[in-house]
Amino acid sequence: MTLVLAATPLGNPLDASARLKKAIESAEIIAAEDSRRFHRLASDLEVTFTARIISFFEGNEKERTSEILTLLREGKEVLVVTDAGMPTISDPGFRLMRDAIAENLPTVVIPGPSAPLMAIALSGLPTDRFTFEGFAPRAQGARRAFYEKLRFEERTIVTFEAPHRLLESLIDAASVLGENRKAAICREMTKTYEETIRGTIAELIGWAQSREILGEITLVFAGIEEGSEIRTADGAVARVR
């Protein structure tokens, strides 16, 4: 009677932990974001399993959460995996974990690969304090409001972005955060065509304009210099006066 959340490789199967392999082999029930990708992962890891596979993705998360909680109450062990990285981090699993904890059901997390942590390490930007903001909104107005809330954030900022929205997202970021803000694009991390592009947001826009963007994208933005919000407010008051 245990809920197990396990991190899976971002792309390179060699990043899988021994605990993940053992959990897959011994699981009774596996809730997978995409059953086909899970079968491919198991094949890449050369692990065999006898577990029943159930789908667990954004579209059915509410219904599946109720079903999995029932299985846990019946004494079953359920392993939850997503397509890449840690369940609950911009992926299904949060509601399930929250509700299992509320019922005092046993829970375990098997740590492993994390796109936000890898990206911030690759970026070369400060790592002592950072904030992860998930996916930027799709609509331009909401996306600009999203960046506006981060305008005076002093911590390093990590976000996810879809490849086909990367350029417009960077343009919106530049309009709010400033073209000279340091940033990095981390693309296809741990995969064959992994690359990290570092520079100002203006330089990243130039890079994105010159090619077709494919693959998984994580963006990292430098935080603003400490005290800048106060100085900006003081400057605005001075100009008004």
Where along the chain do its domains lie? 3-110, 115-228
Model confidence, pTM: 0.89
Q: How far is Cα 103 from Cα 106, in angstroms, rounded to an integer?
A: 9
DSSP assignment of 7-51 equals -B-SS-GGG--HHHHHHHHH-SEEEES-HHHHHHHHHHHT----P
From the candidate CATH numbers 3.10.105.10, 3.20.20.10, 3.30.950.10, 3.40.190.10, the one assigned to the domain spanning 115-228: 3.30.950.10
CATH topology agreement for domains 3-110 and 115-228: no
Q: What is the DSSP letter of 192?
A: T
CATH class of 3-110: alpha beta
Q: How far is Cα 11 from Cα 73, in angstroms, rounded to an integer?
A: 34
Q: How far is Cα 53 from Cα 35, in angstroms, rounded to an integer?
A: 7
What is the per-residue pLDDT for 228? 61
The identity of residue 205, as a single letter, is I
pLDDT digits (tens, 9 = 90+) for 89-113: 999 999 999 999 999 999 999 999 9
Alpha-carbon dihedral angle through residues 18, 20, 26, 29, given to the nearest 10 degrees: 180
Orientation of helix 201-209 relative to helix 166-177, angle to 10°? 160
Q: Which residue has the tokens 């130039």?
A: 206
Q: How far is Cα 237 from Cα 241, in angstroms, rounded to an integer?
A: 6
What is the per-residue pLDDT for 23? 98
Instruction: Look at residues 150, 220, 152, 214 and name the one whose alpha carbon lies nearest to residue 184.
Output: 220
The identity of residue 43, as a single letter, is S
Low-confidence stretches of the chain (pLDDT < 70) are 227-239, 241
